[in-house]
A and B are shown apart, each in its own frame.
Chain A
Amino acid sequence: MKTKLKSSVGMMLLAAGLWGAAVAASATEIVVIVNPKNPATRMFSEQAAQFFLGKSTLFTPVERNDGAAIRTEFYQKVLNKDATQVKAIWSKLVFTGKGAAPKEYASSADVKKAVAADVSAIGYIEKSAVDDSVKVILTVQ
């Protein structure tokens, strides 16, 4: 179902050409969100990346499910890594007993719920999915 949807989006992009692609890209703009009670107000990509790569445990990362398009894009744009690299990094942390891999959620709505429920959580969703339950601290360029 999801892959079908994705590939039809891909077809549309191809069909619509460059102009269409630009519009579609802005439509899936990614934002990094935290709990509204979190004192942080703004963050650089490099700082956000630290949590998702397990380099800092100050905030608790909330992940999307493996294979989600937004996750691939987030890894590319914010972590500058591909999925296997990130997997290898977390396997280091998990098997050193230093950290547990982030919990994964199947939709942006679930990520939002998890972030809204945990003061120290940090997640990423589509800009269009943002509401008052979370606070945006970074818009991914």
Chain B
Amino acid sequence: MKHPKLTSLAFAALAACAMSVHAEDGSAVTISGFGTGALTGTNTDNAEYARPNQAAGVKKNPGFGVDSNFGVQVTDKWSDTISFTAQGLVRKDGSNNAFTGDLAWAFAKYKFNDDFSFRVGRIGLPIYMISDFRNVGYANTMLRPPDEVYRQVSLDNVDGADVVYQHSFDDTTLTAQFAAGHGKVDSPGPYEVQYHPVTALNVVVENGPFSFRLGRADAHFTVENYASLTTLVATVKTYGIGALAPDLTIDDVKGSFTSLGMTMDYKNFLIQSEYAKRKTESRLVPDTTSWYAMFGYRIGKFTPYYNYATVKQDSITSYATLPTAGPLAPLTAAIDGAITTGLRSTNTLGVRWDFYKSAALKVQFDRVKLKDGTAGSFLNPTPGFSGPVNVYAAAIDFVF
């Protein structure tokens, strides 16, 4: 989400708040921050490895852009019931390949009572289990969220409102959150995706070392300014195969994302897993099933971990009715390409070392296998790029 004006406003607000800390003694303003400095590289020059919604990635030559970020959060607690929070986030994200600042959140929170609170403004959207803190490397075991699942919806935040209910029943805590609003994602391509409206339900049950989560997001979305896609859809109509057109719409498409997740933090054992289904009414945003499972084991300050992640496509990847030979063959290939998403699986090995009280060093190795002849969400693949690809990364996460 790029709103340059809003962003500079946010930073001005952050600065103003920072000053008021000194101005008012005993003021309830708290400033906290997080960041990750990471170097990422691969063993191939035939395609670029990038996170979801990044315009460029890295090849053999390692770079800082993929996994590095920096965030500052300011909270002003007005009273026991009212508080304001703003979070600014700098990272490489969106249509331009540069570190840019976003206003990730800016909301007012009203606490009705011990159980209910209400937020309005720009809020994080709880699409995934770790949606809210996925950018905070320090709060996560792995170096980055598993791409296979976290690429499925790239909307981070919405302008809207949510209500959170949290209640403890003996030693079980139930948290239920319902959010609604509208949002916009500035995507590489470049194109924009408008979500209008989007709703998200997030239910978490925690008991001792276990936590279980159910998430459901529903949206109507429109893809805007995607030149090649618009041309393709127009061409389909021109060639009299307009019957496909309703399948290939990018205007006011209904979509949903349903996910289940669990974490376990028992003694030295860590488990984190999510299973998700994406469904839309347009084949241009294919239906997918994705999941990952992470296992970690804490040995003092070191936490070695293993993760497996995979994504498969549930909707068709080609139209049997379209000609694969003759003059229309290139169009068929273009359509089939457009209705297929990046499919892959990844085996990840890594270790987190808590070398300092508020900083951690992570080293991670990923082996990414491409599936079904797709480029597996790698960017700018050369013809014939087939993987598998080794990805190497080292990162320092910190919080303050």
Contacts and interface: CB of A to CB of B under 8 A. Distances in A.
B25 interface: no
Interface residues of A, number: 25
B399 A92 contact: no
Interface in B61-94: 71, 73, 75, 77, 85, 87
B171 A95 contact: no
B195 interface: no
A104 interface: no
A87 B400 CA distance: 11
A97 to B, nearest CB: 5
A87 B173 contact: no
A91 B136 contact: yes
B301 interface: yes
B34 interface: yes
B328 interface: no
Given A91-B34, A92-B136, A97-B109, A83 B357 contact: yes
Contact of A55 (B30, B206, B301): B206
A94 B73 contact: yes
Interface residues of B, number: 38
A57 B114 contact: yes
Contact of B32 (A56, A94, A98): A94
A95 B357 contact: no
Contacts of A83: 357
Given A50-B173, A92-B133, A95-B73, A58 B139 contact: no
B327 interface: no
Interface in A27-59: 44, 46-47, 50, 55-58
A97 B357 CA distance: 22
A97 B124 CA distance: 9
A25 interface: no
B139 A88 contact: yes
A96 interface: yes
A124 to B, nearest CB: 19
A100 interface: yes
Most chain A CB within 10 A, of B119, B123, B267, B399, is at B399
A141 interface: no
A55 B298 CA distance: 22
Contacts of A84: 301, 354, 357, 360
A96 B130 CA distance: 9
Contacts, number: 75
B282 to A, nearest CB: 32
B49 interface: no
Nearest to B164: A98
B168 A91 contact: no
A95 B34 contact: yes
A83 B356 CA distance: 11
A92 B141 CA distance: 12
Nearest to A120: B114
Nearest to A56: B168
B301 A95 contact: no
A58 B114 contact: yes
B132 interface: yes
A56 B172 CA distance: 9
Contact of B173 (A44, A56, A80, A100): A56
A55 B124 contact: no
Nearest to A94: B32
B357 A91 contact: no
Interface in B127-160: 132-133, 135-136, 138-139
A125 B181 CA distance: 46
A50 B34 CA distance: 24
A95 B206 contact: no
B85 A97 contact: yes
Contact of A96 (B133, B166, B357): B133
B132 A95 contact: yes
Given A94-B73, A96-B133, A97-B85, A47 B171 contact: yes
Contacts of A98: 132, 164
B208 interface: yes
A16 B115 CA distance: 51
Contacts of B87: 95, 97
Contacts of A57: 114, 166
Most chain B CB within 10 A, of A66, A83, A92, is at A92
B337 to A, nearest CB: 38
Contacts of B77: 100
9 contacts: A47-B171, A57-B166, A58-B168, A80-B267, A85-B265, A95-B133, A95-B399, A97-B123, A101-B32
Interface of B: 30, 32, 34, 71, 73, 75, 77, 85, 87, 105, 107, 109, 114, 119, 123-124, 132-133, 135-136, 138-139, 164, 166, 168, 171, 173, 206, 208, 265, 267, 298, 301, 354, 357-358, 360, 399
Given A84-B354, A94-B32, 4 more contacts: A44-B171, A50-B168, A97-B107, A100-B75
